[in-house]
Amino acid sequence: MCMEQSPLVSIVTPSLNSARYLERAILSVLSQDYPRIEYIVMDGASTDGTLDILERYSGRLQYVSAPDAGAADAINMGFTRSRGPILAWLNADDEYRPTAVSSAVRKLAEHPEAAGVYGEGMWVDDHGRNIGRYPLMSPYQPRMLEKECGICQPATFLRREAVESVGGLDPALQFSFDYDLWIRISRHDRFVAIPEHMALSRMHRSSKTLGRRRMMFQENIAILLGHYGYVPVNWVYGYLSFLRDGRDQYFEPLQHSAVVYLGSLIVGTFYNHRHPWRYWREWTSRLCGAFLARRRVSGGWRTKR
């Protein structure tokens, strides 16, 4: 890509005591094949050796180490310090694939109407071993966000004007500020999916997503109610299942329970008191689907040979 035609891409990494993974994230940014990247690490006053890592790379990135109000606040401050028309953030325990930035810039150039683009992501463990594909939703449809966050955050790149038009990330959120941002942007603009593997999303039990699961569920349910006034069955059932057994539903898969599913009818009706009929239809449809699937597995269906 010609330097004169290459827009500056500003990437921010929020960090707090992330020395265990941070250097891999940094190297994944600095090794990109794209010529114009502004890289800023916003560290929340770490005490674990993070600053030693940042100082080693100080000639190739900018960094600030000071207390903040959380990751969303740190990212917002990083975006404010940055200059590029294209923005992204990469968490300190995630990584880019080598062509992620160039692929994103190319797709944004092909779709000037798009507020952002997102690619494929792969979940990896502590040691970088693949453990599963991120459940990406493609092609993009605005209503898909009513059910799940089908956009992989580390594989997402946004136009600055789109982020600024909705006021940036909500610093009051601690877990799902990316999901909230996608929803707010989708009300006025669209995303475009990229059928390429662009990022690694690290899953480990010490991460906020898995380590503070109850609060994550509560925050996501609040976001869905706030934006759509409706919480789908899968969120209610997943939350009640977690409250029952404490399983993280990732390394420890969800254990299905008829009693918990029945309970999700009552609790879900409370959450969705403005749309009870919609919730009951969805609840019944999923129940029938599970019953039919069980009959197929158990040999209840007989086919002609």
Domain of residue 69, CATH code: 3.90.550.10
d(CA 289, CA 255): 17
Do 258 and 192 lie in one domain? The reply is: no
pTM above 0.95, yes or no: no
Domain that holds residue 259: 231-298
For the chain, 305 residues long, give each residue's pLDDT as a single digit of tens: 444 479 999 999 999 999 999 999 999 999 999 999 999 999 999 999 999 999 999 999 999 999 999 999 999 999 999 999 999 999 999 999 999 999 999 999 999 999 999 999 999 988 888 888 888 888 999 899 999 999 999 999 999 999 999 999 999 999 999 999 999 999 999 999 999 999 999 886 666 666 678 999 999 999 999 999 999 999 999 999 999 998 887 788 889 999 999 999 999 999 999 999 999 999 999 888 664 455 443 443 333 32
Domain membership of residue 223 (yes or no) is no
Tell me which residue of 131, 105, 108, 133 sits closest to 121, measured CA to CA.
133
Number of residues assigned to the chain: 305
Do 280 and 236 lie in one domain? The reply is: yes
pLDDT at 283: 96
Domain membership of residue 173 (yes or no) is yes
Which one of 154, 181, 202 terminates a domain? 202
Do 236 and 91 lie in one domain? The reply is: no
Do 18 and 130 lie in one domain? The reply is: yes
Do 198 and 246 lie in one domain? The reply is: no
- CB neighbour class for 47 (10 Å; exposed up to 12, middle 13-18, buried from 19): exposed
Do 109 and 169 lie in one domain? The reply is: yes
Residue 285 burial (CB count, 10 A): 11
The 8-class DSSP code of residue 251 comes to S
Residue 248 burial (CB count, 10 A): 17
d(CA 140, CA 156): 13
Domain membership of residue 60 (yes or no) is yes
pLDDT at 2: 46
pLDDT at 5: 76
Give CA 3 to chain center in angstroms.
Answer: 31
Question: How many domains is the chain partitioned into structurally?
Answer: 2
Do 190 and 236 lie in one domain? The reply is: no
Domain membership of residue 256 (yes or no) is yes
